[in-house]
Each structure stands twice: as C-alpha cells, then as structure tokens.
Structure 1
C-alpha cells in the first residue's frame, strides 16, 4: 500500500520571495521535480511523496511547500460555506488535532481574507460537530495542520502546508535583535550570484553572518531543513510515511561534506556582530568552514594566497532621516575597497539605497530587482578587473 502511495506523482506549490522564482525552480528541478509553472512568488510542480519530503529538507529559497487537495468556485458566502462543507475533512484533520487557516484573497467579491478564513473554519468545525459531536481546536500559533486557502476571482484552491514553521527560519539564529537578511533571501543572493560553492567568498560587512552561514551550507552540501525547529507540517498528516522520512533525512546527513570546499571569510566593524556571527555559525555546526574577524570595510582586502572569487555584502540602507551624508560616505568607502582590495573578483552588493549605491563609482554589469521585507532592493554586480584592461595589439 505504502509503495503505491509513495510513487504516484501529485501537484505541489512552493512559495518564495519576489525575484527568487527561477532560482527555486532550478532547486526543485535538481531534486527531480517536474516544473509545471513559474509564477509570481510561487512555483507549481509535480512529484511523489519522497520529493515532497526532500523539497522541505533541501530547498534553500522556499518559504513553504503546499499540497493542493481541493478546488472550487464560490460566488458568495453561502457557496463558500457549502463547498468547504462538501470536503471530507476527516481525511485531513483528526478531531484531536489543532488546525489553522491562512487565506489569501485576490480580485474577488470577498473583501477580507480574515473573513474568508473564519467562514472556512466554521464550515470545517460544523462538519466535525455534526458527525461526531467533537471538534478540532484552532491554534493560530503552532497548529498540527496548517491549511492554505488561495482565492483569485472567486476560484478557491485549498492546500495542506507541508512546512510547518516557514522554511526560511532555519533555527541556527541565536538572537534576532539585529535586522538581518532572512535565510532564504541570503541563500537566494548566493545562488543568483552564480557562486559555485568552490571559489573564495568574502563578506566584508557580514553583520550576524547569515550570508556566510548559508554559503558554508551550500559549499558543504548541508540540507537547510536539518536545522528546522519542531515538526514539519507533513509529519502530522494522516498519510505520513515515517520510514520514508527517516531514509530521506539519513540520505541528507550522509550528503554533508566534511572537508572544507571553499575559503569563506567575513568581517565587520562591530565586535558585537562578530560575536553574534560566531554564535550563529556554532549553532549551525559550521565553525570549521568560516573565518571571522573584526575589521572596518575600509581595511578589507582579498586574502593573499587564495584565488579570486566573489565578494558579497548587504550594507546598511540608511532608512533613518538625516543619514544621507553618512550613507554616501559608506558607499564611497565600499567602492574604494572594491577597487583597491578585490581586483579580479566579482562583487555583489545587495542594497535598498540606490541613491547611495551611485557613490560606489563602478559600472554595474547586472542589476537584479528583489525585496528585503517591504524594501525595494537591487542585487548589483560589479566585475573588478585586474588592473586596467588593456587590449593587447597583435605582434
């Protein structure tokens, strides 16, 4: 029985952040998924149960993996309540389990996603009550079963959330009092840069070390899902295959490479940030693969004995009033450092301050639009040639 279920392919959706869609599609393709559609912040794909488990474990740029199980048209409240009530909910939720619904509503006659979620919840709870006299409870914070309702122009798709806690929350971060990059975005920047996990990688403004930690995970083939806190959503599903999940995790652990694959180093002016970075790197069990030091970005330079690779950083954007002059000076210093200290490297600057970025004083060879939370950002690429490029005349 288990083997048939294991091998029959079904549809899934992986969600991500704006600008990372192609990167995530490639990650899924590498895992063996059939890509059906690359949409806005979402990839539709198909595969079997093993692929579902592997996607949750291995996708660096995914936020959630969803498994759609029902779709219908609901022109009004009555229709929504009726259609939800037609689904046999005992197949998806046990009455001793807790559940929560996230609703996303676009271009529909329903105005509020909260109202749609509430109505869906009522229909589910009423079905249980009518059949058994008992009902599952709602737990918004930490439910056993997470349901996603997506409504676009009154077409409804209901999905089970395989992830549990959002996949970008890896669990190695010790404190979140600084405003770092989220882990999926950091991994996305590295994958967008085309870094191969072998070349030298330097982050001279590393903050609490998220880019470095994600880089070491890529280089050493560490599955990000191994850090996931608590259960994955699919572990609470009625059809959960514990033996298959055990073997998928075992395979992932054996994929890890113990020999350092790349020279990865970071520095920051703030001693506190470097201390925080050390704690995060230690929590991720990657101390052997990352070098950290306290240093002003003005003093940063390429390591002497290593082949040139990439230099990548996420400098402050200066969101507070009156920081313009400070930001201009900082970005000019970044430009000077790149020109003098990193010849032969490719540089990637991720920033939400495009005015200040002009002070870098180098020509970009790529500008990739992304968001950091609500902030419109760019990943800027600069090719730092060795000396000046002279065109040699034929002898």
Structure 2
C-alpha cells in the first residue's frame, strides 16, 4: 500500500473520538501521504492544534478569521490543494451543517469550495446516530456523493453500547488507500436486488417481511464505488438511491422482482441477491377488502413464489451468483444447503432476530464458497458491504478472470 505524495485534508470536529485522529495522521504519513489538518472550534477542546501540527508537520488551520492566511485566500488554497477530504470524527452537528450547505466555519467552507471527494466518518452516541434527523442528513449527504465511512458498533465513551463509534484509524487509512487504488469491479455490470417483497391479500392487506433494504442498498453503493455499472432492483422501501447507481428499478412482488432481475441480468457479470424475497404468495388475491365474519377464522391458501436464483442458475450463460441466507438458527447448515441446491458461486449468511440483521444498523456475515468460510465480523452495513464486494470481486476474478 502507498499514499506517496497524495494530498489528504483531515477535518476534525468536536468529539472524544478526536484522539483517534492523531493516530490517523501518523498512519497516513507512514504511507507517504501529505496531511493537512483543519479543526473546528469544538475539536480544540479535545485535542490541541499543537499535537496535530507535530504529527502532520504542517500548520493547523481552525479559523476563517486568520488574517495572515486569508490575505491569500487560504481557504480556497486548502480547497484546491486537497485530493481527498476526510472528516474524522464527524459529529452530528457537523453532518447537519454539511447537509444544509452551511459555511459558518473554516472546515465547512473548505468542503463547499473543494471539488475533492469527501469522506465522512461519523462518531456520536448511539441514540444520536439513530435519530431520524441525523439519518435524514446522512441520506442527503449520500445522495450528493459523499462517502460515509462507518460508524462501527461497540462500547462508547458515554457508557452506551451500539452503533456510533468512529472507525479505527487503520480502517480509515484503508479507505483512503482504496479511494486512490484500482477499482476491483471496473468494466463489469452488476445487478443487486434489495429490500422486501410484498404479496397482496386484498387491496388493503399484504404479506411481507421486515427487511429494511439497507444492506442491499449498501452493497449496491459499494459495487458502484468499486467501479461497476450497477442496476439496483428495489422492493418497497423508502431509501434514496445511492450515488453512482446507473439504474434503479422499483418492484413490489416476488414475481415482479424475478422479471426485473432476469431482464437486468441479461449480459450482466454478477448478480448479488441481497433482497429478502417472499417464499409464498396468496393463491388468490381478493378484488375487494375482506371483511370479518362473526369471529370466524380467515384462511389463506398460499402458493410458492418463483425462485430467482434457481432461474438464473439454470441459464446456459449466467452471471456470477451471490446469494444471501438470513436464518434464525442453524445458519451454516442452511447456508451450505442453499449454496449447493441452488448452484451458487457464493453465499453470504447471517443470523437474524434478537437485534441482528433486519432493522439493525449493523450486521455480520459469513461467506461460503468453494474456498471455504470467510468471516466478516460485525460492523456497520456500509463497511460490511465494502468488505463483501471486495471478496466477491476477488472470487469473480479468480473464477472468470
């Protein structure tokens, strides 16, 4: 790995995780990067500018009102100098100000004035991270092409446990290296399915599942960042299209998803089946709302839905197939069975229920294929998706060149 002569601007906002940013500067410089640091006023309450100056070997900037620097339009100079901007830690306040296009301090002003790719590493209390306002701001940044790094899950300085920890310095350095490196999926066409499917009972009711679609959307975004031309087939979810997606197709039922995936996969190199497709649908759909009948039970007759992966696996010319297995128990046994029975190239298995998998901000996966099992430890779905896509690309190249 090398970052020789790469110009990286590190923004540091207020938060206890700012102490990790000191190590990040050192780790970036270990690989030859030139690092300049911009601190917010609040960041100085946690780490001194002197520390960052000693580690980076460069003066630290924190104010738009530095007369000497701004005499030469210093913020514009910084904005033009940077090849990458990474903000670590990024507080809830800073994320909000970035999302609303504010330029009320040096760091936000530089971000607006720079054409460099922007990477944001959130760090905050788990309840703050889960707040709808923060998530809305994060979604806004994603739509604008900002790269979110983390957060991770675990023990927090406040005593809570959950998602909101800043990624470790080495993880952030790897993201910077990857941002300059070869894109593993460049030139390939990838189809990703995400979210649940809904099967109508009548015009009012349906059968569905608890998939939020966030893992699948994160996979689609990671594939796009890896250089792929991505088609995203999405079930009924309320998630903005990630940046870099070539095409999004919205569907509702399993049959609609099958038709969309089969059509999109014609000529595709890889299909990643991250959607939670319903196994069954009502055999008959009422054309009017079904009414209660004096306490009598309502019986539904279900019929099996078409299997998308089996359909694709049976084709003479087929994409590299990656399945998902979300199980509540005996995860390995069911995943291995699905891998063989459906003729897949790889399968990503995870435990669901009890706060894992569906409706959770993070996840953990075990990948199964001919090379054996690969553990991807619990992390944010964004980080996990990046690791998954890297493994898929590695295996695809090994098999198909």
TM-score > 0.5 by shorter chain: no
Greater length-normalized contact order (CA 8 Å, ≥ 6 residues apart):
1
How high is the TM-score relative to the length of structure 2? 0.30
